[in-house]
């Protein structure tokens, strides 16, 4: 089973700053990595899939990068609505098994 770790656990930033979130896989996931944003009381929302493709309606300030085992979600110029929890997620090729990272909380400094 592939394990995802995320760092840092919490990131304290101010509006306008850049957020850099890391996700590391215990073995290569190639490009099978997605990112989600979750706000309190809401279901997660897909942000990024296939490492770097933005989902429909996601602002350009969100970007993803990486390959193999190390991935990054970058949020340029944080806006007030971006203070949330972010999860990475991978899928193994076959059989399809899905795992999530433990999450990174981005909160207001």
Contact residues for other proteins, defined by CB under 8 A: 1, 32-34, 36, 42-46, 49-50, 55, 87, 89-91, 95-103
Shortest distance (Å) from residue 87 CB to other proteins: 6
Of the two residues 19 and 88, which places its CB atom closer to other proteins in the complex?
88
For 42, list phi and psi in degrees, rounded to 5.
-120, 160
Using CA atoms, how far apart are residues 52 and 8, in angstroms rounded to an integer? 20
Shortest distance (Å) from residue 93 CB to other proteins: 9
Of the two residues 16 and 95, which places its CB atom closer to other proteins in the complex?
95
Shortest distance (Å) from residue 80 CB to other proteins: 23
Of the two residues 12 and 30, which places its CB atom closer to other proteins in the complex?
30
């Amino acid at each position: 089973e592939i394990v995802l770790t995320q760092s840092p656990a919490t990131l304290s930033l101010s509006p306008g700053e850049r957020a850099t979130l890391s996700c590391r896989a215990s073995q290569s996931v190639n490009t099978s990595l997605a990112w989600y944003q979750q706000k309190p009381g809401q279901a997660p929302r897909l942000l990024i899939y296939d490492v770097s493709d933005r989902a429909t309606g996601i602002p350009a300030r969100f970007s993803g990068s990486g390959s193999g085992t190390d991935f990054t979600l970058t949020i340029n110029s944080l806006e007030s609505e971006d203070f949330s929890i972010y999860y990475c997620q991978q899928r193994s090729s076959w059989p399809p098994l899905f795992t999530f990272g433990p999450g990174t909380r981005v909160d207001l400094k």
